[in-house]
């Protein structure tokens, strides 16, 4: 896939859904994000929990990319409450993957906000941005094959398994989380669905 878009001009943009706001990061998001990254239930399918410094570094990277490009892994806020509940958004993976170069949609929510449809709602808004604002032809998603909840979000969004399972290059091949599945949705299929 050819990816020519590197930035979106509306840098102060926030995306809205019925219940959520996807927006640029604020300083006050860093502490709740660190709690998410230190929760073994949330991090079950990641190689390790993140320390406060590692979590802050990740938040800084997300924030800088949004400043630079106008899009990325947005901070997700519950409308009307102002609570930071996690991250959802778009990313250009730097690892060499079967889909590279590609743009992925991804999500990580605080445990107490699971089971309410927020990841699907925010993911759907991120896809709309990918296809209507960035004019991408395809968006992918990938996760370790045993991460059923994440796979179900992909399926609810209309993404299909490309049957191109791969060992994640950042993990040793016999690592229990190494096997990944790759899902995708094309602009054409997205238009038919939405
Ligand atoms: C992946 C993750 C975001 C999915 O969260 P989730 O809560 O399962 O997914 P959603 O937010 O879309 O919610 C869907 C659930 O909410 C329910 N729901 C309740 N109210 C709803 C509403 N108003 N609208 C839609 N769904 C609703 C759905 O029925 C569904 O329930 P089920 O899981 O019992 O089938 C979450 O598990 C997570 O953060 N995991 C850790 C991070 C991670 O692994 N990220 C992916 C790495 S690649």
Question: According to the model, what pLDDT value does residue 173 have?
Answer: 85
Residue bearing the bigger pLDDT, 107 or 173: 107
Question: For 88-135, what is each residue's pLDDT tens digit?
Answer: 999 999 999 999 999 999 999 999 999 999 999 999 999 999 999 999
Ligand 1: atom nearest CA of 147 is: 44
Question: According to the model, what pLDDT value does residue 14 have?
Answer: 94
- Res. 13: pLDDT tops 90: no
| Average confidence (pLDDT) over 146-160 | 98
Q: What is the CATH number of domain 15-193?
A: 3.40.630.30
The CA 151 to ligand 1 mean position distance, Å, reads 10
Question: According to the model, what pLDDT value does residue 12 have?
Answer: 62
Is there an atom of ligand 1 within 6 Å of 116 CB? Answer: yes
Is there an atom of ligand 1 within 6 Å of 143 CB? Answer: yes
**Where do the structural domains in the chain lie, given as residue ranges?**
15-193
Question: According to the model, what pLDDT value does residue 97 have?
Answer: 94
Residue nearest to atom 33 of ligand 1 (CA): 115
The enclosing H or E element of 161 equals strand 160-161
Which of 17, 116, 144 best tests ligand 1's pocket when mutated (most atoms within 8 Å of CB)? 116
What's the pLDDT band for 2 if we cut at 50, 70, 90? low
d(CA 104, CA 101): 10
Is there an atom of ligand 1 within 6 Å of 19 CB? Answer: no
What's the pLDDT band for 7 if we cut at 50, 70, 90? low
- Res. 54: pLDDT tops 90: yes
- Average the pLDDT over each of 4-8, 41-45, 60-64, 87-91 and give the range with the smallest value: 4-8
- Res. 10: pLDDT tops 80: no
> Can you say whether the dihedral through the CA atoms of 154, 156, 160, 163 is positive or negative?
positive
Contact assessment for residue 88 and residue 73, using Cβ atoms and an 8 Å cutoff: yes
Q: Quick one: DSSP state of residue 174? A: T
Which of 109, 127, 147 best tests ligand 1's pocket when mutated (most atoms within 8 Å of CB)? 109
> With pLDDT > 90 as the criterion, what percentage of the chain qualifies?
90
Residue nearest to atom 32 of ligand 1 (CA): 115
Instruction: Mark residue 115 as left, alpha or beta (left: phi above 0; alpha: psi -120 to 50; beta: remaining).
Output: left
Ligand 1: atom nearest CA of 88 is: 3
> With pLDDT > 70 as the criterion, what percentage of the chain qualifies?
94
Tell me, yes or no, if the pTM score tops 0.85.
Answer: yes
The CA 113 to ligand 1 mean position distance, Å, reads 8
145 token code pair: 């094959």
Alpha helices of 116-186 — where are they, by DSSP H? 118-128, 148-156
Alpha helices of 70-177 — where are they, by DSSP H? 118-128, 148-156
């Amino acid at each position: 896939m050819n990816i020519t878009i590197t930035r979106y001009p509306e840098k102060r943009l926030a995306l809205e859904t019925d219940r959520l706001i996807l927006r640029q990061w604020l300083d006050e998001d860093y502490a709740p994000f660190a709690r998410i990254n230190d929760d073994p239930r949330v991090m079950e399918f990641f190689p390790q929990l993140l320390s406060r410094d590692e979590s802050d570094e990740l938040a800084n990277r997300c924030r800088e990319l949004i400043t630079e490009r106008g899009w990325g892994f947005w901070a997700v806020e519950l409308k009307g409450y102002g609570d930071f509940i996690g991250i959802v958004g778009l990313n250009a993976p730097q690892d060499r993957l079967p889909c590279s170069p590609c743009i992925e949609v991804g999500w990580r929510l605080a445990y107490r906000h699971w089971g309410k449809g927020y990841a699907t709602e925010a993911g759907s808004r991120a896809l709309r941005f990918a296809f209507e604002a960035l004019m991408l032809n395809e968006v992918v998603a990938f996760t370790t094959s045993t991460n059923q909840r994440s796979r179900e979000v992909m399926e609810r969004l209309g993404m299909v398994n490309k049957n191109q399972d791969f060992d994640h290059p950042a993990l040793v091949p016999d690592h229990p989380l190494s096997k990944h599945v790759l899902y995708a949705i094309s602009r054409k299929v997205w238009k038919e669905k939405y």
